[in-house]
Structure 1
């Protein structure tokens, strides 16, 4: 899966630089090296610029084509470290385009993936948020203004891109399994009107063919500890968001672990009419308690 360019000092950038150096030491151009590998030249270019993450097989082929078996230990260590990458929002927002560019990179990841699986234990994810909910959420102390230095203009542009991202919900080529904890229905963002509008929006989305919306009720014994939310892109990338940034996980074994956890959650969650009734009940109780 193509990725956004990494921070220059990141392990992913170091891995790409090392592979470029190994290729350059052969005296072959990128195009010539690609022919040796039997790859498109663009694939070599993307790996060397860190816009495509290499697989273990890619690394093996690369070193064999370069006759660089002596570099295997160093490259293997770089690959291991690059498979779990920390991304700082403050650094990301400091790049050209700022917070808006970051949202666009998320949109591109979602567009490129055939399947985006999302789990959130206590917050409704961006793909289903109303614009009013987005603005209230992004204005919180945990939002980009405080954690990444985003301006008011940045936040409005982020909202615009988030709305654009939601065209994904109507793309018949996509599979978008979404599991949320019941706590996400109750977590108040903004005033009651904002919350009720958001729950109403959630009910309408539950009927879309592309969206498999499921809710883990409070009454269900949770199959995993709800420590944090995550997104899985095509079983190739897991993104875990924190207050300060993101963890990008590309290690196949760790991705398999997250896939297993997602399948456990999905199996215990309610869907269809049962999920709709649960959302409606929360809406009624919120309105009655106001």
Structure 2
């Protein structure tokens, strides 16, 4: 089944209806199916009415218990994967107001404890200076004062000792000249400063040595329950545990390529001094 962003909302109801019909064709009650798959009858009912989106592993258990034919298993598991994936269209988000997205992210941050950010191309708003945030929004038309204010408000979460933040930035993300040289030096100084917070781990991947794996996208993993992946036209949100685990595994891979602690700060000071030198030459 091809991935269709427009069909994401419909896929959950389709999945629920198919699973319910398959159970009925198998001549099983909800209670009987629940026993076969070691789930509660209440969970089976919520899945079949679309009130709960089942994980892929739940769907596979149900299909095996119902002895579904292989061609139908392929169709239903594809539906399950799409049902566990949300597409957030960037144009729609901008029309609604970028400040609304910041409120959504703040809620997600309040409800999560551990965060992992892979940043191969840009610096995330939590780590950005006001000038860098403003520049990141400049390409989009409209008044972004509310969105900028909300981004800066969200940075307070970094000082919550109950939260644990893990950032990995590539050299490109740190050095991309989104703002003038002096402002870039200040931005890199902020990266070094935030890395000293006791609940923050900041890793830097320099362009050196041999790295047989390359990052493709900016992504964030919230605890072990949700991963967001950013692309030019929007963002994908993954909730299936196996999809989330893929991003956790990728993050761990890049942890091994990164400089941490004082080694990272030495590199950041070097880069900040480079930009200060440029600004003095102008």
Aligned residue number for residue 82 of structure 1: 83
How far apart are the structure 2 equivalents of 1:176 and 1:72? 39
Aligned residue number for residue 193 of structure 1: 182
8 Å contact kept, 1:123–1:185: yes
Match runs of 1:49-198 below 5 Å: 53-56=53-56, 75-94=76-95, 97-140=96-139, 144-145=140-141, 151-152=142-143, 155-198=144-187
How far apart are the structure 1 equivalents of 2:41 and 2:20? 17
User: 2:236 aligns to what SS in structure 1?
Assistant: strand
Give yes or no for the alignment of 1:206 onto 2:195: yes
In structure 1, stretches of 5+ residues that fail to align are 1-7, 26-32, 146-150
Rate the CA distance shift 1:72–1:226 in 2: closer, same or farther, 3 A: closer
Aligned residue number for residue 289 of structure 1: 278
How far apart are the structure 2 equivalents of 1:117 and 1:261? 11
8 Å contact kept, 1:223–1:268: no
How far apart are the structure 1 equivalents of 2:200 and 2:17? 44
8 Å contact kept, 1:224–1:261: no
- Measured after TM superposition, the shift of residue 9 of structure 1 is 4.6
Aligned residue number for residue 14 of structure 1: 10
Bigger mean CA offset, 52-61 vs 114-123: 52-61
Rate the CA distance shift 1:58–1:121 in 2: closer, same or farther, 3 A: same
- Measured after TM superposition, the shift of residue 201 of structure 1 is 1.3
Give yes or no for the alignment of 1:262 onto 2:251: yes
User: 1:225 aligns to what SS in structure 2?
Assistant: coil
- Measured after TM superposition, the shift of residue 90 of structure 1 is 1.4
How far apart are the structure 1 equivalents of 2:133 and 2:156? 16
8 Å contact kept, 2:186–2:272: no
How far apart are the structure 1 equivalents of 2:99 and 2:243? 29
For the pair shown, the structure with the greater C-alpha radius of gyration is: 2
Aligned residue number for residue 5 of structure 1: none
Rate the CA distance shift 1:136–1:72 in 2: closer, same or farther, 3 A: same
- Measured after TM superposition, the shift of residue 169 of structure 1 is 0.7
- Measured after TM superposition, the shift of residue 122 of structure 1 is 2.8
8 Å contact kept, 2:15–2:79: no
Rate the CA distance shift 1:252–1:61 in 2: closer, same or farther, 3 A: closer
- Measured after TM superposition, the shift of residue 38 of structure 1 is 5.4
CA deviation profile, 1:150-208 (whole Å, cap 9, x unmatched): x21xx211111111221221122212110011122211112123212211211110111
8 Å contact kept, 2:226–2:238: yes
8 Å contact kept, 1:222–1:265: no
- Measured after TM superposition, the shift of residue 277 of structure 1 is 0.9
How far apart are the structure 2 equivalents of 1:60 and 1:229? 30
- Measured after TM superposition, the shift of residue 256 of structure 1 is 2.5
